[in-house]
Structures are given as structure tokens and as C-alpha cells.
């Protein structure tokens, strides 16, 4: 039996590689001769960098950069494919978790550190970049990121603006002449799992601003500033931003990456599946195991288990999903290529107390035992 194991991480507990390893151990207790192929997965959110580095046996490089509040923080980026491709997560340098709850304010937070990570990766000679833009603390439309790469944003007096979403309304001119030249030679793919536009009621400020600390009054200001920013970009650079699906992701960083770096926004799960060559590895599998921390009705919206299952369905390969918990609407995944769902929870505990590795191994072993019973039954009736 050849089993391909391609899960996402169980956030706060195990990386995607850790999940795959423990699922594999459970199956080997039942099928010790099975060929186990572990493919760490992600869908573009936090954990994407780790999953790609694990899949390629790449390296993670730590850097000191400017954090969301303008203070220095320790961040990191990844190198895979022998340094040909760099992997960056906005959460590492400009993430919400880097800002204490009482200090969260998207009027002030900046993506400058993300731009610094991009520059450090360019200095390593990367030719491709994969950028995951989930988990940001910002609403600056990627202006901070562009500033770190040499772009100047000038007010009506010709002075450079400062950091944060509050400053976007001051922009009157954009000077791209000092943009880091190496960026023009690099192909950039942005892992984006939302379709929100840059501004408006479904835009960056209204939908995501409150969770980043914005009051209702701030949301209105931020949204108006994004509208102003969009008008300036179209006038100065000839790029129309509001039509971009996903332009509102990460406080407008999605739009900024397109405008300033000519990046391409794509579904995160598609980028990861392509990067790890999942389909090629899957073709000869007898069984596919996937999963993530929570599987519910939202999983069908481009999350890892569904992306994996849809690939497997092309080849008629059965798919079993394993999660820490299942939530409302979980039955929806059964119509999208997943044949059965199991959760590992044995008793109510916090994430910190949960013996995830132990429970993963146990449930995987039980799934294996059921499959073995099926094989025994088939053998018995064939003899009859």
C-alpha cells in the first residue's frame, strides 16, 4: 500500500510535517510494509513558509527588521530549491501577533519589515518569491513594504510620508525611480485566500480593520485613505486597483504588491500544491490522508483538505481527512472529494494541554485497522 499524507498544520500544536509524521506512525503500526510519502501542506496563511521549507528541506533565515509599530523585531524568511526561491510570510515581520492587543492600531502599523525581508531575500539571489499575506496587523496598502524597497511617497510639499494607514491620505506623488532594481528580475506569486477588494464595505478597512484595532471612526478614515491611494496609483502608475480580487487582503498589501512589484495574486493552496508538486507525487497513491486543526463548513472555501481532495478525485483516489475538531457544516466536505472525516479529540482540553501527537497516532492506527478489516472481509468473500 502506498499512502500519501498531505495535511496542513494543527495551529498552536504541530507543524504540517509534525502532523504528517504522526499520522504515518499510526498507519505503520497496522501496515508496517506500507510506503508512506509525507508532503507538508498549507493554504497560504501562517505556516506556509514552514511547510514549504519542510517539504524541500530548505532553510529558515532570521533577520532583524522593522516591526508593525516601527520597533525592531526578529523575523525570518525561507529559502527553498537551493536558494532559487524565497518564501516570505507577512506575519513574520508585520503580523498581528507582534502587536500587544492594547497597542493595535492600523492607523499606525506598517508593512516596512515585510519589504526588508523581500530585500534580504533578493540579496541572497532568489529568482522567485512566494509571499503569504495572512495574519497582518496593517492597513497601509503595502506602502511600508514599498518604502523599504526604495519607493518614495510624497505629500503636496514634496515631503515623504510616514508609516501607517493614516498617512495614505497625504500621498500626492509616487516616485518609483529608486525601486530596488533586482525586483524586476524576480517572479512573485502571492498566496491570497480572500477575494475582498481594496476599499468599500467589503474592503480591507471595513472587513479586517476592527480585528486589527480600528474603531468605527478609524475604519471610515482608513477606507477613505484607501480610496485616495487608489486614485493616486491609477494616476501615477496607470494601475487600477479596485478591480483586483484579493486587493484588500492584508490591509491592501495584495493591491500594493500588484501595483509596485507586478506580483500575481493566486489561491494559496494552488501555489503550495504547485510548489511541492503534489499532483505528480499523488498519481500512484492508493490512499490520501489530509487534514487540519478544524474542519467545518468553511473548509470548502479553498482550505488545504479540499485542495488536496480535489486533486485526488482526478485520479479516483480515496481521501480521508483528520482534524483536531470538526465544526458546523463539516458534512459539506463530503461532497468535495473527501470520503470520510475523523477528529482526534478524546476529551475536552485546551490546545496547550492536548497531546496532539499521541491522539493523531491513535486515530490513524484505528483508521488503519478499519481498512485492514475491509481487506480481510474482501479476501474472505473472494474465497467463498
- Whole-angstrom distance, CA of residue 279 vs CA of residue 317: 12
Sheet order of strands, 128-132 included: 59-66, 72-80, 85-89, 128-132, 187-191, 264-266
Kindly tell me if the per-residue pLDDT of 351 is higher than 80.
no
Residue positions counted in the chain: 384
Alpha-carbon distances of 344 from 13, 269, 318, rounded to whole Å:
13, 24, 20
Q: pLDDT value at position 381?
A: 47
| Locus of grid cell 510620508 | 161
The tens digit of pLDDT for each residue in 66-115 reads 999 999 999 999 999 999 999 999 999 999 999 999 999 999 999 999 99
CA-to-CA separations, 239 to 181, 231, 247, 258, 379, in angstroms, rounded: 20, 9, 12, 9, 64
Question: Which CATH number describes the domain made up of 2-41+280-383?
Answer: 3.40.50.10350
Instruction: Please state the domain extents for the chain.
Output: 2-41+280-383, 48-269
Give domain 48-269's CATH number out of 3.90.1510.10, 3.20.20.70, 3.40.50.300, 3.30.499.10.
3.90.1510.10
Q: Give the ranges where the chain is alpha helix by DSSP (H).
A: 16-30, 48-56, 90-94, 112-123, 143-148, 204-208, 216-237, 249-261, 268-275, 278-282, 304-314, 356-383
Mean pLDDT calculated for residue range 351-355: 74
Mean pLDDT of 355-373: 95
Quote the pLDDT of residue 349: 73
- What predicted TM-score, i.e. pTM, was given to this entire model? 0.87
Q: What is the pLDDT of residue 378?
A: 65
Residue 350 has pLDDT above 80, yes or no: no
DSSP β-ladder status, 85-89 and 173-175: unpaired
Kindly state the cell numbers that stand for 331: 458534512
User: How far are the Cα atoms of 178, 265, 267 from residue 261, in angstroms, in the given order?
Assistant: 13, 11, 18
pLDDT at residue 12, rounded to an integer:
79
Spatial CB neighbours of 288, under 8 Å, sequence gap ≥ 6: 3, 4, 5, 6, 282, 308, 309, 312, 317, 318, 319, 320
For helices 48-56 and 16-30, give the axis angle rounded to 10 degrees.
60
Percent of the chain with pLDDT over 90: 86
Average pLDDT value for residue range 298-312: 92
Instruction: Give me the chain's average pLDDT, please.
Output: 94
Mean of pLDDT values over 254-278: 95
CB of 360 within 8 A of CB of 26?
Answer: yes
8-17, 28-37, 155-164, 242-251: the lowest-pLDDT one: 8-17
Amino acid at each position: 500500500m502506498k499512502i500519501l499524507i498531505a495535511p496542513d498544520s494543527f495551529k498552536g500544536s504541530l507543524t504540517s510535517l509534525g502532523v504528517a509524521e504522526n499520522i504515518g506512525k499510526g498507519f505503520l503500526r497496522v501496515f508496517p510494509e506500507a510506503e508512506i510519502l509525507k508532503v507538508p501542506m498549507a493554504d497560504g496563511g501562517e505556516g506556509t513558509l514552514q511547510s514549504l521549507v519542510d517539504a524541500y528541506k530548505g532553510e529558515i533565515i532570521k533577520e532583524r527588521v522593522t516591526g508593525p509599530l516601527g520597533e525592531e523585531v526578529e523575523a525570518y524568511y525561507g529559502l527553498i530549491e537551493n536558494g532559487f526561491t524565497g518564501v516570505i510570510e507577512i506575519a513574520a515581520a508585520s503580523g498581528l501577533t507582534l502587536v500587544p492587543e492594547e497597542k493595535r492600531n492600523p492607523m499606525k502599523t506598517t508593512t516596512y519589515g515585510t519589504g526588508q525581508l523581500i530585500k534580504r531575500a533578493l540579496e541572497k539571489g532568489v529568482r522567485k518569491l512566494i509571499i503569504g499575506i495572512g495574519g497582518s496587523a496593517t492597513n497601509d496598502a503595502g506602502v511600508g513594504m514599498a518604502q523599504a524597497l526604495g519607493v518614495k511617497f510624497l505629500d503636496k510639499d514634496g515631503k515623504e510620508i510616514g508609516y501607517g494607514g493614516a498617512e495614505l491620505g497625504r500621498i500626492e506623488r509616487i516616485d518609483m525611480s529608486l525601486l530596488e532594481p533586482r525586483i524586476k528580475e524576480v517572479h512573485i506569486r502571492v498566496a491570497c485566500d480572500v477575494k475582498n477588494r481594496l476599499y468599500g464595505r467589503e474592503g480591507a478597512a471595513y472587513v479586517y480593520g476592527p480585528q486589527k484595532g480600528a474603531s468605527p471612526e478609524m475604519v471610515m478614515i482608513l477606507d477613505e485613505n484607501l480610496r485616495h491611494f487608489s486614485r493616486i496609483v491609477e494616476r501615477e502608475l496607470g494601475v487600477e486597483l479596485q478591480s483586483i480580487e484579493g486587493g484588500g487582503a492584508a490591509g491592501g498589501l495584495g493591491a500594493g504588491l500588484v501595483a509596485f512589484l507586478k506580483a500575481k495574486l493566486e489561491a494559496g493552496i494552488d501555489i503550495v500544491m504547485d510548489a511541492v508538486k503534489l499532483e505528480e507525487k499523488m498519481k500512484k497513491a492508493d490512499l490520501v490522508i489530509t487534514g487540519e486543526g478544524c474542519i467545518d463548513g468553511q473548509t470548502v472555501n479553498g482550505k488545504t483538505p479540499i485542495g488536496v481532495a480535489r486533486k485526488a478525485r482526478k485520479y479516483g483516489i480515496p481521501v480521508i481527512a483528520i482534524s483536531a475538531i470538526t465544526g458546523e457544516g463539516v458534512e459539506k466536505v463530503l461532497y468535495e472529494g473527501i470520503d470520510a472525516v475523523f477528529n482526534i479529540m478524546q476529551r475536552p482540553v485546551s490546545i496547550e494541554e492536548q497531546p496532539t501527537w499521541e491522539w493523531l497516532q491513535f486515530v490513524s492506527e484505528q483508521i488503519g485497522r478499519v481498512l485492514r478489516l475491509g481487506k480481510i472481509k474482501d479476501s474472505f468473500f473472494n474465497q467463498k
